[in-house]
Structure 1
């Protein structure tokens, strides 16, 4: 690799504050607000359709005579692998074509597949529909971020990414609450069909509200083969450390959400409803607060001109590692829950910082690609191996007659949080050196 090539990898092609996108494409005022709301709804319904099988799992299992293994295949690793890997080609289509077209197509696909799941008469057909949902949802984040880059002026992109990300906690709360209530009243099949039908309306909004998004002019920078471009981006020290941070994030977040409720029930004697109410409300509140606060703070960090755009989330992860460790051995249940709150906040707070920084490093016309690579980093190894490591450690401690086996297993979370914070601090210095 030549020195010039290396410099082209490490240096952003254009500052976020001096975008090369046509200024006439940027929207303001009510039009910008309507795009914000539309993006929020898109991500919220993406999350709802993704998690409905979680809350409906028992009804599906009983009605179709499925095993826990089959339920796990529907909701676990297979979905994560499909979702993560398919995001890259959909990101390519978003960067090089019309992100609005990709986004609308993805919404229609995952909504149709969600509704079709309500008609499934066998495990194979139901599994096929879940793969279809994963296929469609894999393009939501990359296409949404590419649309933000085309339509939102640079000084508001952090807020836009934060509002888009806020759909995750909102969708989670609505999905669990409304999905469970409707499922108990009308059945799981009607719930899936209804969710799919609403998705069709969301697709209409996604088509009408943003307006046309012309494709970018072909240049040497955006004409490079996508896989080669991805390898070059990962070879950049700044983006490489961001990617490493995303991997560690997966190892922190996946076990945290998989085992926090069982830990509180098993160790502190809470009921499932008590944990669901307290943990669910706090997680929703921290998700909304983190994404909004993180988005606005990121915009200000970029506007400051220092180039240090990852310090605050890195520090929060280091703090969360301490409080989460304390939560696992706290003597009282209420104290344990309170000490888990910084961890909840850190995961949502990071989203606009991580994606925004990735876009800054990747340069114009590669925002969807950068988002897709971070999704792959956080969505594969951590969710696949993190909960498994927790389970192995917990079983080993319990088998040796040790107390609080799950608490020891969950130490994976603060360890991974420390490593995430360190990776972000290194990436912070690397990015600052580019600007």
Structure 2
């Protein structure tokens, strides 16, 4: 038998169907990340061709995209929980791929901005729908690894996007890169629709009939989920400034060239992203099978370790030592992904996995990316103006502080969730 049925409408697949489904989801995640970062890679070419200012380029890739992406994820998550996440992820993939390709025909800032909002709209449904498919199709004993394989598209998509997107842009132009990525995404969307088996709605009257905002409020009212939600918010205040300023820090403080800093940081980040998601997923599955309910302890400890090493990295006098001391932070951000989403699904319960994922995405994708780098920049400018040495390092101290607080909050959430699961 290749399918195991449950009485709530779930059909756990087995054998080759598992590999095929996870491959399709990985490809969706991969092309999602590639399409998201292509404008970063080709910013200079786009700016020159369309005569844009830096402000215009920033608006295409900054807060407006993040706000649209995170806030639209909630209604699309609700559609995944109540309906067919298979159709949601396929239609969303086709939508953002079409808009990516249309961006290659843009002759003005307004048209390109319109296509990027379309990309944000489509990509907002990818993670919630993907997690809903995993929750309905993959046996709970292997769900952490499944989430990790899905999340693996993030670091690999970043690496492919920067390397491949830059190469295509240099040889064929930025328009060809967008059109090609859009065509590839459309093919992956159709492939996912063909490979992933139908996902009938879960037969739960409470899940289907509970109003949209009431369901969200009920989940956020739970102390277990609330602490996890707070941890995701604070964690984003560590991650966003880390990625925004790590390379400039290495260039200014240790004299690396942009190429040297980018290569060292990019390769290590890609490697830690792969190891962190895969090891984190397997470890999460073991924690769930243990029955202890302690499903956030290891990432909490890693964040506490990373806070110490990152603080040391900011004031290390040797360049290569500073880079090595940044590695635990790179690992911690990736390692948390399967633990955070997996714990959110456990707390939310059956039929609300996509909504739980969406709320975690809002927590991690809205506040920290919009405010965190700004805070670091303000502190760095103030320190430099006051003639303090290494002003950027002083500003980046917000990263280890936020990491330490994240670790503490995750330990509280770990204790709350464990107690709740034992009572149930």
TM range (shorter): over 0.9
| Aligned-partner SS, 2:209 | coil
Partners of 1:72 and 1:23 lie apart in 2 by: 45
| Aligned-partner SS, 1:364 | coil
Corresponding position: 1:129 with 2:110:
no
Match of 1:34 in 2: 20
Deviation at 1:271, TM superposition (A): 0.6
Do the aligned residues in 2 keep the contact of 1:394 with 1:408 (CA within 8 Å)? Answer: yes
Do the aligned residues in 1 keep the contact of 2:77 with 2:125 (CA within 8 Å)? Answer: yes
Deviation at 1:367, TM superposition (A): 0.2
How does the TM-score come out when normalised to structure 2?
0.97
Do the aligned residues in 1 keep the contact of 2:5 with 2:11 (CA within 8 Å)? Answer: no
Do the aligned residues in 2 keep the contact of 1:169 with 1:288 (CA within 8 Å)? Answer: yes
Corresponding position: 1:312 with 2:298:
yes
Do the aligned residues in 1 keep the contact of 2:13 with 2:137 (CA within 8 Å)? Answer: yes
Among candidates 229, 237, 260, match of residue 223 of structure 2: 237
After superposition, residues 394-409 of structure 1 pair within 5 angstroms as 394-409=380-395
Deviation at 1:173, TM superposition (A): 0.1
Show CA shifts across 1:152-196 (max 9, x none): 111011000000011000000000000001100000000000000
Match of 2:405 in 1: 419
Deviation at 1:221, TM superposition (A): 3.9
Partners of 2:420 and 2:374 lie apart in 1 by: 38
Match of 1:8 in 2: none
Partners of 2:80 and 2:183 lie apart in 1 by: 25
After superposition, residues 111-150 of structure 1 pair within 5 angstroms as 111-150=97-136
After superposition, residues 59-78 of structure 1 pair within 5 angstroms as 59-78=45-64
Corresponding position: 1:382 with 2:371:
no
Partners of 2:181 and 2:399 lie apart in 1 by: 33
Match of 1:283 in 2: 269
Give the 3 Å change call, closer, same or farther, for CA 434–24 of structure 1 in structure 2.
Answer: closer
Among candidates 94, 97, 116, match of residue 83 of structure 2: 97
Corresponding position: 1:363 with 2:345:
no
Match of 2:141 in 1: 155
Do the aligned residues in 1 keep the contact of 2:9 with 2:202 (CA within 8 Å)? Answer: no
Corresponding position: 1:372 with 2:363:
no
Give the 3 Å change call, closer, same or farther, for CA 189–346 of structure 1 in structure 2.
Answer: same
Give the 3 Å change call, closer, same or farther, for CA 260–19 of structure 1 in structure 2.
Answer: farther
Unpaired segments ≥5 residues, structure 2? none
Unpaired segments ≥5 residues, structure 1? 1-17
Do the aligned residues in 2 keep the contact of 1:222 with 1:366 (CA within 8 Å)? Answer: no
Deviation at 1:23, TM superposition (A): 8.2
Match of 1:15 in 2: none
Among candidates 52, 65, 74, match of residue 38 of structure 2: 52
How does the TM-score come out when normalised to structure 1?
0.95
Deviation at 1:222, TM superposition (A): 3.9
Corresponding position: 1:257 with 2:243:
yes
Give the 3 Å change call, closer, same or farther, for CA 151–396 of structure 1 in structure 2.
Answer: same
Deviation at 1:419, TM superposition (A): 1.0
Do the aligned residues in 2 keep the contact of 1:21 with 1:150 (CA within 8 Å)? Answer: no
Show CA shifts across 1:36-87 (max 9, x none): 1111111011000000000100000001100000000000000000000000
Partners of 1:93 and 1:303 lie apart in 2 by: 30
Instruction: Please report the RMSD computed on the Cα atoms of aligned residues, expressed in angstroms.
Output: 1.2
Partners of 1:60 and 1:398 lie apart in 2 by: 32
After superposition, residues 81-92 of structure 1 pair within 5 angstroms as 81-92=67-78
Match of 1:248 in 2: 234
Corresponding position: 1:351 with 2:366:
no
Match of 1:336 in 2: 322
Deviation at 1:333, TM superposition (A): 0.6
Give the 3 Å change call, closer, same or farther, for CA 368–400 of structure 1 in structure 2.
Answer: same
Do the aligned residues in 2 keep the contact of 1:397 with 1:405 (CA within 8 Å)? Answer: yes
Deviation at 1:20, TM superposition (A): 5.3
